[in-house]
Amino acid sequence: DRIEAAKRKAAYRAVEEHFDSSMRFVGIGSGSTIVYGVEAIKDHLEKNPPPPNHMNWFVPTGWNSRKVIEEAGLLPIAFDSLPRETMIEVCFDGADEVDEELNCIKGGGACLFQEKLVACRSKKFVCIADYRKQQKRLLTNWPSIPIEVAPIAHASVLRELKLLGSPDAKLREHSVAKSGPIQTDQSFYIIDAPFKTLLSPLDVKNGSDGSGKDGQWDVEALAARIKMISGVLEVGLFHGMNGYEAQAAGLQGGQKPV
Ligand code: DER
């Protein structure tokens, strides 16, 4: 259908522009769009075989990602077996919403922690997303920010989020499988925290105040503030992707997502 076709088109274009058979380490995110990304990489490798004795390693970002890599017949390598000085050449991943500065809300698939780890180790972060995801500001269409928290701390994190302007923040429960909160690959919980539509960096440049007064935040300020709450492992806001100079609580080391 139209959406699947859009996902596929975005994936093939992203791979065509940013993947090369001579790459050694490539990060693979989670979700349904990335399946097309892996399919496009597989096609590319068949048409453009790597140099003899060259290995393409694919770095998964959790259970779902590893499964996608293995089902495509590609070789996964565990993140913790990456040599310290190795940078991942490029990381392909999806997103739940993307603003005009290419900041992303991520975590719909509850894999945001390992996705951010891999993105931070990547020279380039390529976000593959269909037209539904692009909005002027984050939290326009996607309702809340996914936050990965230590189970023991979930109640106190909920209380702090309420004070920051998210009274309706709640634990992500199983939809059908079993009652109770879902658990991530780290056996942590996910809290989904709705906030007012986030101000973009452009709004801030034009003088808007996104420091949290009356619950109005900008992307960077809110990501940093949530990250400070005791018990928070990671926040599903990917921003500040433009290289090592980025001081934001988001990502260092990546380039602007494309
Ligand atoms: O969890 C994530 O951040 C994923 O990338 C995901 O939400 C994107 O999912 P989709 O490709 O199925 O929309």
The Cα–Cα gap between 112 and 115 comes to 5
Complete edge-to-edge strand list for the sheet that includes strand 104-105: 97-98, 104-105, 237-238
**Ligand 1 atom 7 nearest Cα:** 108
pLDDT in tens, 38-64: 999 999 999 999 999 999 999 999 999
CB-based contacts of 245: which residues, under 8 Å, 6+ apart?
none
Contact 97, 140 (CB under 8 A): yes
Rounded Cα distance between 13 and 33, Å, is: 13
Q: What is the pLDDT of residues 60-104, one digit of tens each?
A: 999 999 999 999 999 999 999 998 888 899 999 999 999 888 899
3-state helix, strand, coil in the chain (%, to 5): 35, 20, 45
| Active-site residue flag, 148 | no
The answer, yes or no, to whether ipTM is higher than 0.85 is yes
**Binding pocket residue ranges, ligand 1, CB within 6 Å:** 29-33, 93-96, 106-109, 111-112, 115
pTM assigned to the model? 0.91
